[in-house]
Homo-oligomer: A and B are copies of this chain.
Amino acid sequence: MNKSLQKLIKALHQKKYRQEEGLFLVEGEKSVVELLSSTLLTKAVFFTQNFALQHSNLLQKIAKTDTELWQISATVLEQVGTLQSNDAALAVVEMPENKVLLCPQNSYQIVLADVRDPGNLGTIIRIADWYGIHQIVCSLSTVDWYNPKVIISSMGSFLRVQPYYCELPAYFEQNAHLPIYGALMNGANVHTVQFAPQGIIVIGNESNGISTDLLKYIKYPITIPRFGGAESLNAGIATAVICDNLRR
């Protein structure tokens, strides 16, 4: 593995270079295996001997495509990647186009208004995937979807859920015909709300919730009822409980 490739991979730890190159990293055995069966364009895969032994058929298939294959040691893989331990694989992948999908008739879109923590975003991607939600619309201030920590913590779900980054007011105006629910204090109890079959769920910032300038777009404020003393629930937990309620 030559120096310039090593430099490229290390650069892709940073958002600035990911955006310049239109590339991101996928790390770890399970995620790379799932990636290679997906429709995302993989530029290159770096893998260890261990991975090659376990996935020889898959690698033979990939060898017939334009994807570059490089066998390297786990030591080098861990040096260039972000995982502390990775005796498996790392892939360099092309970012798909940033495009909005039509909200399906019997499903929802999740809107993240300034979610900042990569672990929270990864968890929310996994929850969206579990509950059959295919798009997450993110404010421009939301943490970068292609941050390696987000990709890792989504546990492969980034392959089945698509991001769309945009200015939220414009998105809300274009979707004014849909019911827009927002997780707020003092909203309607999610246990008794009659959720529409199609709609939008808005989740705000971890500390400050949904910002004042966006409140006017929230037609239906909703709240998870509390039975004890905790002040709040984490953004990922709140998303899961709301998705579970709207899928009942």
* Contact surface of A with B, Cβ cutoff 8 Å: 123, 126-134, 155-157, 160, 191, 224-234, 236-237, 240-241, 244-245, 247-248
B241–A156 contact, CB under 8 A?
A: no
B123–A229 contact, CB under 8 A?
A: no
Instruction: Report the Cα distance A233→B237, complex, angstroms.
Output: 11
B127–A229 contact, CB under 8 A?
A: no
Instruction: Report the Cα distance A244→B131, complex, angstroms.
Output: 16
Of B191, B229, B232, which one neighbours A248 at CB under 8 angstroms?
Answer: B191
Of B128, B155, B248, which one neighbours A231 at CB under 8 angstroms?
Answer: B155
User: A228 with B133: in contact, given A233-B240, A237-B240 (CB under 8 Å)?
Assistant: yes
> Could you say which residues of chain B place their CB within 8 Å of the CB of A244?
191, 224, 241, 244-245
Q: Is the interface of A mostly helix, strand, loop or mixed?
A: loop
User: A130 with B247: in contact, given A160-B228, A240-B240, A241-B240 (CB under 8 Å)?
Assistant: no
A227–B247 contact, CB under 8 A?
A: yes
> Could you say which residues of chain B place their CB within 8 Å of the CB of A130?
224, 226-230, 233
> Could you say which residues of chain B place their CB within 8 Å of the CB of A129?
228-230
Q: Shortest CB–CB separation between residue A161 and chain B, in angstroms? A: 8
A-B contact pairs, 22 of them (CB 8 A): A123-B234, A126-B233, A126-B234, A127-B233, A127-B237, A128-B228, A129-B230, A131-B227, A132-B227, A134-B228, A156-B231, A157-B229, A157-B230, A191-B244, A191-B248, A236-B236, A236-B237, A237-B237, A240-B240, A240-B241, A241-B241, A244-B244
> Could you say which residues of chain B place their CB within 8 Å of the CB of A230?
126-127, 129-130, 155-157, 160
Instruction: Report the Cα distance A234→B240, complex, angstroms.
Output: 10
Q: Shortest CB–CB separation between residue A195 and chain B, in angstroms? A: 13
Closest 10 CB pairs between A and B?
A: A132-B227, A132-B228, A129-B230, A130-B230, A160-B229, A237-B240, A241-B244, A129-B228, A191-B248, A131-B227
Q: Shortest CB–CB separation between residue A202 and chain B, in angstroms? A: 19
Instruction: Report the Cα distance A237→B128, complex, angstroms.
Output: 12
List the B residue with the shortest CB-CB distance to A122.
B234
Q: Shortest CB–CB separation between residue A101 and chain B, in angstroms? A: 14
